[in-house]
Structure 1
Amino acid sequence: MDHDNMHNMSPPSSSLANKTNPDMMMTMHMTFFWGKNTEVLFSGWPGTSSGMYALSLIVVFLLAVITKWLAHSLTLRCVGSTNRATGIVQTALYTLRIGLSYLVMLAVMSFNGGIFIVAMAGFAVGFFLFGSTAFKKPSDDLKTDKLPPLSSGCV
C-alpha cells in the first residue's frame, strides 16, 4: 500500500443509510451538551418534545433513587440465616439493583448535561433518604457503613 498517497483517499462512511440520505445521519455526542434533543436509553426517546425530555429526566431521577433504596433499605437482615430462599431473594434484589444501576449509567452516557445532573441528584437524594444517618435511629446498629448493603438478609 502506498502510504504517500493516503491523503487523497476519502474517509470511510459510517453506514449505507448515510450514503443514501445524509439528512438521516445521527451524530453521537462525545462531550457533554445541553438541550432536549437527545436519545436516552432507547432509539428515538425522548425525541424532540420538551414534555418527553422532562419525562426522561424524571425517569432517570427515579431510577437513581430506586437504586439507592434497593441498596440500603430493602435488605432484611437476619443473623445466621443461610437458607436457599434467602439466597434467591438476595440474588434477585442484587440483580435488580445492578441492572437499574447500569440503566442509569447508560442514560448518563448520552452525554446530556441535564441527564447527568438528575442522575447525580437522584443518587444524592436516595442516599440522603436511605443511606445516611439523617433518618436512622441511634439504636439502628444492624446497618453499618462497614457492611455491604446486601451482605446478609432474610425472607
Structure 2
Amino acid sequence: MGKKITHSYLKSNLTDLWNPIEPLILIDLGCEFYIAKFNKHESMNKALYEGPWFVIESFLSTRLPQLPTELYDKEVLEKIGKKLGRLLKIDSCTSATLRGLYARICIQVLIDNPLQNEVQIGTHTQKVVYEGEGIMCTCCGTLGHVLWNCPHQKKEI
C-alpha cells in the first residue's frame, strides 16, 4: 500500500483486534516482517482461529452471517471470496463446519473500490459483514476513511 507501519502502531492494533489474555510480544524482523509471540495457547489460538488475520485496510476478515449450511462448501466459499475480492483464506472453523452462526473468509480488496454488502449465490442473497470497525466508511463503502470525513457525504450548511 506504499505505507510503512511502525512497530508500536502494529502492536497497538493487534492488541486491540486480538485482545490477548497476556501482553502481546511483537518482534520486528526487519523488512516489514513481524512475529507475534504467545506464552499462552489461548492467546495464540484466538489470534490464529478467530482473526482477523491481516491488519491495515486492504486485508479484511469477512463474515457471512446465517449462511445456509448447504453453502458451507469449500468451492462455494471460494466463489464467494472471488466475487468480493481476492480470496486469501477460509477460516478453519468454517471449513470444518464447526461454526454455524456465520462463515468467515479472508479477502484482499482494492482500497479505492467500494465494498459489497451482499453477494448473490444462485437464488440466495447473502449479507456480507466486514470485521474491523473504524476502517470502512458506512456512507460510501470505501476503505481508508470513515463516515465523519467522507468526501461523498452531503454536508449540512
TM-score (ref. length: structure 1): 0.23
Q: Which has the larger radius of gyration?
A: 1
When normalised by structure 2's length, the TM-score is 0.23
Structure having the higher strand fraction is 2
Q: Hey, which of these two has a bigger chunk of helix by percent?
A: 1
